[in-house]
Structure 1
Amino acid sequence: MKALLIPATLVAILGFPGVSYSQVQQQAPLTRAGVRRELVQLRAAGYDPSDWVHYPQNIQAVEARVAARKANASYGPSTNGNSQSGQ
């Protein structure tokens, strides 16, 4: 039983970094234009890069706002509300 446990453990330990590395390689490379675009979005949502005193909290709050805006972005008019047809 111990003879099977050691090779299985080694395979699990050595195989895990290869899986995580392959997932990282599938992401698109980060470009300078992409970073600038993201910074413009963050500043439009209220991020102030000079406020380093509250750094983790302010960037996380602004990123949450940007994510909420992206989630709510859709095409066409709102489907909420009433509509009336005229005579």
Structure 2
Amino acid sequence: MPTVLRFGGLRVVIYPNDHRPAHVHVIGHSHEAVFTLGCPAGPVTLRENYGFAKHDLAGIQAMLIHNLTVLCAAWKEIHGIA
């Protein structure tokens, strides 16, 4: 599973055998959340949360929005489509 971004002790990964729509898994601190990217321009939305506090999710979402261009390019590189 390619890690495409790291921040705050978290890994943002895209699974090579995953499905559309474009999304990332944020993993760390014994938690995981899945965010749909809405490539190429957003919106980035929370799809699933397994353990992150609400205030942590807001910070994670902000970081994903800040890196949206990189994340969408990584999705396209791995899957060949956005």
Query: Shorter-chain TM-score category?
Result: under 0.3
TM-score (norm 1): 0.25
Q: Which has the higher helix share?
A: 1
Q: Which has the larger radius of gyration?
A: 1
Tell me the TM-score normalised to structure 2 length: 0.26
More strand by share: 2
